[in-house]
Amino acid sequence: MSTHELFATRASRMKASEIRELLKLLDQPGIISFAGGIPDPALFPTEGFSAAFQAALGPDQKAQALQYSVSEGYVPLREWLIDHMRSIGVECRLENILITSGSQQALDYLGKLYLSPGDTALVGWPTYLGALAAFNAYEPRFDRLSINGNRGAAEHAASAGEGAVKFAYLSPDFANPTGETVDLRGREALLDLADALNCAVIEDGAYQALRYDGDAIPPVLALELARKGSIEDCRTIYCGSFSKTLSPGLRVGWVVAAKPVISQLVLMKQAADLHSATINQMAIDQVARACFDTHIPMLRRVYGARRDAMLQALQDHMPDGVQWTRPEGGMFVWLTLPVGTHGADLLARALDTVKVAFVPGGAFFPDGSGTNTIRLSFSNSDEDMISEGIRRLGEVLRA
């Protein structure tokens, strides 16, 4: 008997991500890719990181940089995060912050912490594929999160059946994949729903800093803090990331939550990887202190211009019947194609005939619906490539 017959039941729920598989094909020359939601490497603060790694390996810091460390994370970085969170309306203390290996690790830990098999996770329809993958391993059922919608707490609780509704997961600013933002009323309504259901809220702030126009809306956690007075009374768990702002390769993210949640996550981190790489946390700390305040406005200018170029090109080249979102930030525009047009088929044709890549939208729906949708990312192409790529996509759609 081979050992793969011994895998636990959860293994059968783990599928290769359509995006990751696709990214393997994108090395071919001449492809214009709107597929990966990744930062433009030309914009990484490389000099700052070079100086930071040199300092971390210098005589004063090398022992700490290369040694084992505490699971909670590098203290100076957590102190910087206290100020950063305050700047977006969240008052918290050192004990409320855990550094994770990217926010993806936080999503995995939160799935592990909250979900027993059969429990319900409320998610957007569509939602971030990586969150679905992380939660899925803990064998939940997914239900459609309805904020301001026609399903209230009673309906959500009823459809959960035997299992409890454990949390609502959402990315309120410029979501992956739609680029859409939940307005203030929606955030307040979400908190009412979570109170009525007595469930946690997982707020994914991966794109929070990347706003190109419109006014910033307070994080859900900030709104809950304003209601309840102390983070210790809040049910919202905020997951942050340096991946979209400074570097995804260093794998540094963070969680802000009430102390009992952080303590339990620390135990998970001890069991899983002891701590995130200290030298990477030191480098992020130094670069954040040196240039976060100037780097973010630069990213907003560059990505904002790319967003504008994509929206203009869609206006110029899309045939009738195609609809798209107009994101105020982030990295994505979400297209709804005429019913019957299959995103995955379109991708095959676009790759083959005009060398344009994107992600078919079906993968972002827990039930595989939404086959007539696609996700386009504008972050990693310049304006000329964006215009040309969208022109070609329009050609394929017309054909």
Ligand X SMILES: Cc1ncc(COP(=O)(O)O)c(C=O)c1O
Say which amino acid occupies 324. W
**What angle is formed at CA 48 by the lines to CA 47 and CA 54, rounded to 5 degrees?**
90
Element (H or E) spanning 375, and its range?
A: strand 373-377
Backbone angles phi, psi at 90, to 5 degrees: -115, 110
- DSSP for 351-368, please give it: HHHH-EE-EEGGGGSTTS
Residue pointed to by tokens 């480098």: 283
CB of 360 to ligand X, least distance (A): 17
Closest CB 395 distance from ligand X, rounded Å = 29
178 near 325, Cβ under 8 Å?
A: yes
Of 247 and 397, which has the nearer Cβ to ligand X?
Answer: 247
* Nearest CB to ligand X, comparing residues 15 and 62: 15
CB atoms near residue 355 (< 10 Å):
15
- The least CB distance from residue 180 to ligand X, in Å, is 12
- Distances, alpha carbon 48 to alpha carbons 51, 55, 76, 77, in Å: 5, 11, 17, 16
Nearer to ligand X, 138 or 174 (CB): 174
Residue 244 or 317: which CB sits closer to ligand X? 244
Instruction: Provide the minimum distance between the beta carbon of 207 and ligand X in the complex, in angstroms, as a whole number.
Output: 7
Least gap, CB of 102 to ligand X (angstroms): 3
User: Least distance (Å) from ligand X to the CB of residue 283?
Assistant: 15
Cβ neighbours around 338 below 10 Å, total = 12
Q: Taking the complex as a whole, how short is the minimal distance between the CB of residue 264 and ligand X, in angstroms?
A: 20
Nearest approach, Cβ of residue 398 and ligand X (Å): 31
**SS3 per-residue string spanning 21-53:** HHHHHHHCCCCEECCCCCCCHHHCCHHHHHHHH
Question: Which is nearer to ligand X, 236 or 241 (by Cβ)?
Answer: 241
The residue with tokens 């993968």 is 363
Q: What is the enclosing helix (H) or strand (E) of 8?
A: none
Q: How far is the CB of 320 from ligand X (least distance, A)?
A: 31
Nearer to ligand X, 238 or 324 (CB): 238
Considering the complex, state which of residue 73 and residue 248 has its C-beta at the smaller distance from ligand X. 248
- Strand 141-144 and strand 120-123: pairing? parallel
Which one-letter amino acid corresponds to residue 139? Answer: E
Sheet holding 120-123, edge to edge: 97-100, 253-256, 236-241, 200-204, 165-170, 120-123, 141-144
**Minimum distance from CB of 103 to ligand X (Å)?**
4
Quote the tokens at residue 364. 């972002």
Q: Report the residue number, 102 or 343, with the smaller CB distance to ligand X.
A: 102
Query: What single DSSP character describes residue 246?
Result: T
DSSP bridge partners of 335: 324, 374
- The bridge status of strand 359-360 relative to strand 373-377 is antiparallel
Nearer to ligand X, 275 or 317 (CB): 275
Looking at the chain, the number of H-run helices and the number of E-run strands are 13, 13
Beta carbon nearer to ligand X, 112 or 392 = 112
Residue pair 134/113 in contact (Cβ under 8 Å)? The answer is no
Binding site for ligand X (CB under 6 A): 37, 102-104, 128, 130, 171, 176, 204, 206, 241, 243, 248, 253
